DNA sequence: CGCTAATCGAGACGGTACGTCCAGTCTTACG
DNA sequence: CGTAAGACTGGACGTACCGTCTCGATTAGCG
């Protein structure tokens, strides 16, 4: 039975993060200000600064507090099908409203602020990547992939094109594009197989 | 015969961009301010706002004014060798100091500011991608690649992992990693070749 | 012919001082804030900080911008009558609303802030005292006072009890009290006249 | 026999006041904060607020806790000598470090805060004035002063110039100046006795 | 002597204002 | 006319204290 103090503080923390997401959706991350979050949440600015060192850190935590569900990787025995399934879900969540624009802004902030980059990696990118790697490793262990299969490289070839298309080219991701990437990853693209 | 006025204006424009890069290297893009650039360049703020609508736009132009050299794609007849050559040069330029951190910040800004994103795409990303696509197309036309070779997909699989590693994972790129990506692109990664 | 820039700036300066006095009368000096003055005057905070280093300095200037009138000393030939006349006017102005409470607060601020104290002395207290001393000196030169009459001491004995009563004892000043002080100054209070 | 509770509480009260004076001397009254006093004294803020309603009240009490000694008026039979003696002592205490600056600040606070003004009057100014008045009254009763001698007026003429010089003009007080005021009080300053 | 109540240190909290920085606009004076 | 200089409004920054409010953890006399 946790103490009442924690209960109250946790409630406030949660309220701040909820308000951050709300405001973030309304006006966008770039125009978001700690001042406005504090005002909307009915909270003193210090209460926010006590918990997070910067707007980016607050925003990161707020986003991470959402996407706990659905991270788990299926393992049906068919590694290709599992990858498709999981990546389809991931892009449906991260590349579409309401989360898509916020996640894009979060990565933008990470590129400007090393602290945020480090936290983002530790709390989201790396765990996510490790799940993919783990699933691939299981497949390799089961003999579905060659013994010298390069797990990290495969992970990069799976994720990279999607991030590139979503963030750099700024075109929406489709399940079809994911499938083509997966296909290419395993089959290669010639010349002359 | 261009008038002297233009000459003077162009000189000023160049001076502003040079100062922007200087300051950007000293204090980082995030802490850069138009105020500071104007002061350092000995220029009125208005003179900057007359030329660029935002810090991001100024920064983009400043960076683009640098890397004109070396964009050209070689065509030795060996598409794999040419890709390696060109991509090695590209990452040497864009993923290492002094340009690396600035380019990273520029992409961060683009993710927060759609105008900058559009301009960055128009003036750098797309032209660069098109050169890769053009080189691949030439190879396809010469029969080195299968007729249904998906040019855009290949370009995404070449660039994506590099951007992913550099920007998201934030690990430095190596020639060896580039080579492994190229290898995988054409050969595929199993299962069972 | 003064330039237009000064005209505009001067107008703003005056508006700020007027607002300061308004707010000062409404909520009192202690609760006055630069923030509130700026908001009410429709002016950026920086515009105030550019002109005055502190709330006290702003308040001092604002008050001094008012009481230019009526400082002049009469000289009817009768030094006692002239002192009465002038001092009555002074206390009517400085010890009664609307100025009284503000002047009291100004002196309070001066006691807490040496910069304000110095400015107050230079711009009000000393000039005022010098006028009294000058009137006394004229009287001495005309033989109405003894040649070794101590001008500064007399000025202190005239002003001191009034300030003491107004500020320390905090009882209102009356013309009658002024008259008794003047009477005592010249006649002495015994023992044995 | 007072209870032990009081003993401990009194110790804490005393510690707070001691800390207040310490900090007041180090950084000045203006920069003093209840927060800082509490931290330095190792005491919760509440413990201070439970005892004093404001910074000014705390400071007043802290100062008053010091100058218990030396308030007593001598009565040697010679009223002039006694006044000199007592006033010399008073200015030596109140117009010189370490107490001088603090006393000055206290009066400044009183001018900004009516509650402090009232408390200062009740606990220091009035008792002190009454002692002077009492000593003068004794002299009058003994026939050393004329029967219609105005006691309050005399007190004002004694104290006023000293406060005026110390607080308004901000020049240090000297025994010699005190003597000249006393001399003028009794003898008057002309014109033509 | 043990128990209820007060007091305490610590410090979180909502709030106000601070003094600074910069954005983006506007004005003036120079060349 | 374009410019350097810089004043201007406005908004947010991150900090400092205010005075209030829990928290447990000591004490306190009272039963």
Helix (H, G, I), strand (E, B) or coil at D95: coil
Window from A45-59, B39-53, C70-84, C170-184 with minimum mean pLDDT: C70-84
For chain C, what are the domain ranges? 4-54, 79-187
State, as a whole number of angstroms, the distance between the CA of D33 and the C1' of F17: 7
Write out pLDDT tens, residues C47-88. 999 999 999 999 999 999 986 655 678 889 899 999 999 999
Chain C window 17-36: residues with CB closer than 7 Å to nucleic chain E are: 31, 33-36
Write out pLDDT tens, residues A38-77. 999 999 999 999 999 999 999 999 999 986 655 677 788 8
Higher local confidence (pLDDT), B10 or A30: A30
Distance CA B90, CA B178 (A): 11
Residues D57-69 have a mean pLDDT of 87
Nearest Cα residue in chain B from A121 = B169
Write out pLDDT tens, residues D111-154. 999 999 999 999 999 999 999 999 999 999 998 998 889 999 99
pLDDT at site A4: 47
Which of C150, C187, C189 faces D154 most closely, judged by CB atoms?
A: C189
Mean pLDDT of chain C: 90
pLDDT at site B188: 78
Distance CA D68, CA D93 (A): 11
Q: Does C4 score more than 70 pLDDT?
A: no
Distance CA A20, CA A12 (A): 12
Vertex B29: Cα angle to B24 and B31 (nearest 5): 100
Q: Would you call A189 and B193 a contact, using CB atoms and an 8 Å cutoff? A: no
Q: Would you call B157 and A162 a contact, using CB atoms and an 8 Å cutoff? A: no
Question: Would you give the DSSP letter of residue C78?
Answer: -
Could you give the residue ranges of the DSSP H alpha helices within chain B?
A: 4-27, 34-41, 45-51, 55-64, 79-94, 99-112, 114-120, 126-141, 151-163, 175-187
Would you place residue A10 in the very low, low, confident or very high pLDDT band (cuts 50, 70, 90)?
A: confident
C-beta of residue B135 within 8 angstroms of C-beta of residue B82? yes
Handedness of CA D150, D153, D157, D159 (dihedral sign): positive
Cα–Cα distances in Å, from D181 out to A167, B135, B176, D146? 85, 103, 96, 19
Nearest Cα residue in chain D from C187 = D188
For D18-73, the DSSP string reads HHHHHHHHHH-TTT--HHHHHHHHT--HHHHHHH-SSHHHHHHHHHHTT--TT-PP
Distance CA A177, CA A173 (A): 7
Q: Does C128 score more than 60 pLDDT?
A: yes
pLDDT at site A7: 73
Residues C117-141 have a mean pLDDT of 94
Handedness of CA B81, B84, B88, B94 (dihedral sign): positive
pLDDT at site D2: 40
Distance CA A102, CA A121 (A): 16
C-beta of residue C174 within 8 angstroms of C-beta of residue C88? no
Would you place residue B98 in the very low, low, confident or very high pLDDT band (cuts 50, 70, 90)?
A: confident
Higher local confidence (pLDDT), C81 or C8: C81
Distance CA B42, CA B65 (A): 20
Element (H, E) at C71: none
pLDDT at site D72: 73
Tell me which fold the domain C79-187 belongs to.
Tetracycline Repressor; domain 2 (1.10.357)
Residues C1-13 have a mean pLDDT of 64
Distance CA B40, CA D163 (A): 54
Could you check: is the Cβ of residue B55 within 7 Å of any atom of nucleic acid strand E?
A: yes
C-beta of residue B186 within 8 angstroms of C-beta of residue A188? yes
Cα–Cα distances in Å, from C82 out to B154, C88, C136, C168, D98? 102, 10, 10, 27, 42
Write out pLDDT tens, residues B124-163. 999 999 999 999 999 999 988 888 899 999 999 999 999 9
Task: Please state which CATH number belongs to domain D4-53.
Answer: 1.10.10.60
pLDDT at site B193: 38
Residues A91-107 have a mean pLDDT of 94
pLDDT at site C169: 96
Tell me which fold the domain A4-54 belongs to.
Arc Repressor Mutant, subunit A (1.10.10)
Using DSSP, how many helices (H) and how many strands (E) does chain C show?
Answer: 10, 0
Which of B109, B111, B156 faces A104 most closely, judged by CB atoms?
A: B111
Could you check: is the Cβ of residue A8 within 7 Å of any atom of nucleic acid strand E?
A: yes
pLDDT at site B77: 86
Write out pLDDT tens, residues A100-120. 999 999 999 999 999 999 999
Would you place residue A1 in the very low, low, confident or very high pLDDT band (cuts 50, 70, 90)?
A: very low
């Amino acid at each position: 039975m946790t103490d009442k103090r924690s209960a109250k503080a946790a409630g406030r923390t949660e309220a701040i993060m909820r308000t951050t997401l709300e405001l973030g959706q309304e006006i966008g991350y770039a125009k978001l200000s700690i001042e406005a979050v504090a005002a909307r949440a009915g909270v003193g600015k210090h209460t926010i600064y006590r918990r997070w060192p910067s707007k980016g850190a607050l925003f990161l935590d707020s986003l991470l507090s959402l996407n706990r569900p659905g991270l788990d990787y299926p393992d049906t025995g068919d590694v290709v099908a599992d990858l498709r399934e999981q990546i389809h879900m991931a892009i449906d969540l991260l590349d579409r409203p309401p989360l898509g624009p916020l996640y894009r802004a979060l990565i933008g902030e990470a590129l400007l602020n090393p602290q945020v980059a480090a936290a983002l990696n530790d709390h989201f990118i790396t765990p996510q990547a490790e799940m993919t790697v783990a699933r691939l490793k299981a497949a390799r262990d089961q003999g579905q992939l060659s013994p010298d299969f390069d797990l990290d490289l495969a992970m990069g070839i799976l994720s990279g094109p999607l991030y590139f298309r979503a963030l750099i080219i700024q075109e929406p991701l489709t399940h079809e594009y994911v499938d083509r990437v997966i296909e290419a990853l395993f089959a290669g693209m010639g010349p002359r197989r």
